[in-house]
Structure 1
Amino acid sequence: MSKQAVIVVDIQNDYFPGGLWTLNGVQGAADNAARVIEGARKAGDLVVHIRHEFTSQEAPFFRPGSEGAQIHPKVQNNPDEHVVLKNFVNAFRETELKAVLDRNGVEKVTIVGNMSHMCVDGITRAAADYGYQATVIHDACATRDLEFNGRVVPADQVHAAFMAALAFAYAKVVSTDEYLAQQGR
């Protein structure tokens, strides 16, 4: 069995047009994530889906049991793939994610998904802290504009800043095409 896994983070309906928390560039990012997932499936790599639900119906998105909290059809899990339900930004916190990876002998994780500045950042840093060799596929991740101190920070700048920070010390950060070429897929 392969010692690598693709982790699909929060590619869920609420992040897409018509959802409660639409992200910039989410359609293209999900298309790239689907390419990475397909390559992993063909290679026999482990694919683990992360699905976020908040614990309150008052949440701004990903409300418990809602259609918006379901995995988006572009990256729907196969019946034999793990789906890890989380309630926090860090997908390792109070979930079975680490146990699933360790049980399968995973040493390398490839991360795709949403949001670049929150859950992708959180899982990547935690994966590196746990000793996994992490790769983030930057064009298979999406985010949205943020506001700080009365100033709007455009999504592309938010994304670039977080990818640069992860690339500095936590992960290899590459495009979908680079990744698939490196994997021979």
Structure 2
Amino acid sequence: MSATALVLIDLQNDYFPGGRYPLDGTEAAAARAGELLALARETGAGVVHVRHEMSGADAPFFERGTPGAEIHASLAPQEGEPVVVKEEVNAFLRTDLDSLLRGKGVARLVIVGAMSHMCVDAASRAALDLGYEVILAHDATATRPLSFNGTEVPSQAVQAAMMAALEFAGATVVPAAEAAAALRD
């Protein structure tokens, strides 16, 4: 693994059309993430897949052992690519993600995945707190509409607010085409 790793967060079947919790723009985000994944494999940059699992039949999505919890086939891990399984929103919390990355000398992360307002946000902020350089490919992430206190927030507004907040927090937020440069270093 190089000093840069592509971290793919929760690009699992339940977030795609036909899944238990489809997001707006998941297919387009997965296509951009797939381009970065192909580049990372070609250049020898590190690749780490993160998969969220929930226990119990009352899980709203990503129920452990179901097809919905599996990583989407278009982004399936290849042999030798680590898969970090998490049960929390933050991919670093109670997982070996940090030790895995540090053990490979990774200092810079290119982050893609879903949901922008939850797991991508939590992982990006945790990575920044842990001292990683974070490059977030905004068009390789997906989210959904939200509501608060009677106000409906369309997914485009949720996405823009999350990306603006993460950029303010210290992440470099760029399109996947620009994030690709980090995987070529």
TM-score band by shorter chain is: over 0.9
1:129-168 equivalences in 2 (<5 Å) = 129-168=129-168
Residue of structure 1 equivalent to 2:89:
89
Structure 1 length-normalised TM: 0.96
Query: Does the aligned pair in 1 maintain the 2:23–2:142 contact within 8 Å?
Result: yes
Question: What letter is aligned with 2:32?
Answer: N
| Partners of 1:32 and 1:85 in 2: CA distance | 22
SS at the partner of 2:28? Answer: helix
C-alpha deviations, 1:118-162, integer Å up to 9, x for none? 000000000000000001000000000011112210001000000
Residue of structure 2 equivalent to 1:125:
125
C-alpha deviations, 1:66-104, integer Å up to 9, x for none? 100000011111111000000000000111101110110
Residue of structure 2 equivalent to 1:105:
105
Structure 1 residue 176: Cα displacement: 1.1
Structure 1 residue 55: Cα displacement: 2.1
| Partners of 2:78 and 2:71 in 1: CA distance | 11
| Partners of 1:177 and 1:81 in 2: CA distance | 23
Does 2:22 match 1:22?
Answer: yes
SS at the partner of 2:60? Answer: coil
Question: What letter is aligned with 1:120?
Answer: V
Residue of structure 1 equivalent to 2:72:
72
1:32-43 equivalences in 2 (<5 Å) = 32-43=32-43
| Partners of 1:60 and 1:22 in 2: CA distance | 12
| Partners of 1:181 and 1:93 in 2: CA distance | 29
Structure 2 length-normalised TM: 0.96
State the aligned residue count.
185
